[in-house]
Amino acid sequence: MTAAQNVPVLLVTVLTGVLALALTGCTTSGAGAPTGTASSVAADTEPAENPGGVHTLTFNTDTAVVQTDGSWFVTNPDGTQLHVNPDGSWAATGSDIGTITVNADGSWRWTGSPEGGVIDVNRDRSWTWIGGINKGSMRVKTDGTYDNPGGGGTPVLPAKPGTPTPASAPGAATPKTPINPAIPVEK
Write the burial class of residue 123 (CB in 10 Å: 0-12 exposed, 13-18 middle, 19+ buried): middle
Highest mean pLDDT among 9-13, 140-144, 156-160: 140-144
Per-residue model confidence (pLDDT) at position 18: 33
* Chain centroid to CA 107: 11
Neighbours of 134 (CB within 10 A): 25
- Tens digit of pLDDT for each residue in 21-76? 333 233 233 333 333 323 333 333 445 566 678 888 888 888 899 999 999 999 99
Per-residue model confidence (pLDDT) at position 23: 30
Threshold 0.75, pTM exceeds: no
Per-residue model confidence (pLDDT) at position 20: 34
In this structure, of 14-18, 106-110, 171-175, 178-182, the range with the lowest mean pLDDT score is: 14-18
Question: What phi, psi does 37 have (nearest 5°)?
Answer: -125, 160
Residue of 89 and 1 predicted with greater confidence: 89
Q: How many angstroms separate the most distant Cα atoms in the chain?
A: 51
Mean pLDDT in residue range 110-115: 88
- Tens digit of pLDDT for each residue in 113-157? 888 889 999 999 999 988 877 667 888 999 999 887 666 666 778
CATH numbers and ranges of domains, the chain: 5-161 (3.90.930)
Per-residue model confidence (pLDDT) at position 48: 55
Pairing relationship of beta strands 54-55 and 108-111 according to DSSP bridges = unpaired
Per-residue model confidence (pLDDT) at position 13: 29
Q: How far apart are CA 25 and CA 48, in angstroms?
A: 23
Contact 140, 149 (CB under 8 A): no
Collapse the DSSP code of 62 into the 3-class scheme (helix H, G, I; strand E, B; otherwise coil) and give the result.
Answer: helix
Per-residue model confidence (pLDDT) at position 177: 96
